[in-house]
Amino acid sequence: MSDEQLRLMAVHAHPDDESSKGAATMARYVHDGVSVLVATCTGGERGSVLNPQMDRPEVWANLSDLRREEMANARAILGVDQAWLGFVDSGLPEGDPLPPLPEGCFAAQPLEVAAAPLVRLVREFRPHVILTYDENGGYPHPDHIMCHRVSVEAYEAAGDPERYVEQGEPWQPLKLYYHMSFSKARVLLLDEAMKAAGLESPYDEWLQNWPDDRPDPAERITTRINCGEYFGVRDDALRAHATQVDPNGRWFGVPLEIQQRVWPTEDYELARSAVESERPEDDLFAGVREAVKAR
């Protein structure tokens, strides 16, 4: 029987994404002895300064360096390792018609160019499980959509010795998941709990503007990871991205006690799997643990 350490990789578009999506899950698995690596596709160079207290010229002038410092602080809080894939942030195009993507940015790369560093990282780290975004990127930011594409490409290609032959020895991950935490069902329950407690909900405007025809990710959930006790760690990691997050904003508008009571999980869709597991799952490594022990 193998005593091989379990390994989890989370692929994200920008620094701060790892702290707003799946952070409590990662903190839980780190506590459980799993080796966790965050792959960050871009440096977040074209991100906004969303913290009013930091919206100053000197911050904008050093944004790239600050994003790296913030990422170092966040990964230390979460207890994860982290690697930069080296691409340049594409920004979020705005306008009608939308402007073209900046030349040389991540989302404008050919798929095989964009995926090659991730394939190499998968083959070096040898994750059993990979987390990423769904086909819509979670939301339609060009970098999030490209992050989805390169993650699927790496999952499917890393184990094939005839693909990306210059990127190291083949390794086949066993499961690929998509984040599904931002569901309307979750927001509605948190909104109701806030109002029942006599508190102002941070979700009123969000719910009022939620399109009726927008699919609810809750319908796609296959896997719920109970990690409520790590929500505080998640929030500390998110606050470490001080240029990106308003500490008085919506992200922190619901007391932890309410979140832990109403919806204590982070949720996922199992998108690819080379092992058998019963659904619904409560463990990203369901089926993986048995496969690893059998080696």
pLDDT digits (tens, 9 = 90+) for 156-208: 999 999 999 999 999 999 999 999 988 999 999 999 999 999 999 999 988 99
- Residues with Cβ within 8 Å of 86's Cβ and at least 6 positions away in sequence, in order, are 117
Question: Which has more confidence, 210 or 38?
Answer: 38
Q: What is this structure's pTM? A: 0.96
- The response to whether 14 counts as a known ligand-binding position is yes
Average pLDDT over residues 210-229: 92
For the domain made up of 7-183+218-293, the CATH class stated in words is alpha beta
pLDDT digits (tens, 9 = 90+) for 250-271: 889 999 999 999 999 999 999 9
- The response to whether 17 counts as a known ligand-binding position is yes
What does the chain come to in residues?
A: 295
User: What pLDDT does 52 receive?
Assistant: 87
- The response to whether 144 counts as a known ligand-binding position is yes
| Domain residue extents for the chain | 7-183+218-293
- Residues with Cβ within 8 Å of 129's Cβ and at least 6 positions away in sequence, in order, are 6, 7, 8, 9, 173, 174, 175, 176, 177, 284, 285, 288
User: Angle formed by the axes of helices 142-157 and 111-125, to 10°?
Assistant: 60
As given in the structure block, the two tokens for residue 241 are: 């991205």
As given in the structure block, the two tokens for residue 280 are: 């619904």
Cα-based torsion angle of the residue sequence 61, 65, 67, 69 in order, rounded to the nearest 10 degrees:
-140
Side chain identity, residue 8: L
Tokens 């440096």 correspond to what residue? 43
Tokens 């059993």 correspond to what residue? 128
**Where is 223: in which H helix or E strand?**
strand 223-226
User: Whose CA is closest to 79, among 229, 187, 265, 237?
Assistant: 237
User: What pLDDT does 2 receive?
Assistant: 64
As given in the structure block, the two tokens for residue 231 are: 């929500």
Give the confidence band of 31 by pLDDT, cuts at 50, 70, 90. very high
CA angle 121, 275, 155 (to 5 degrees): 25
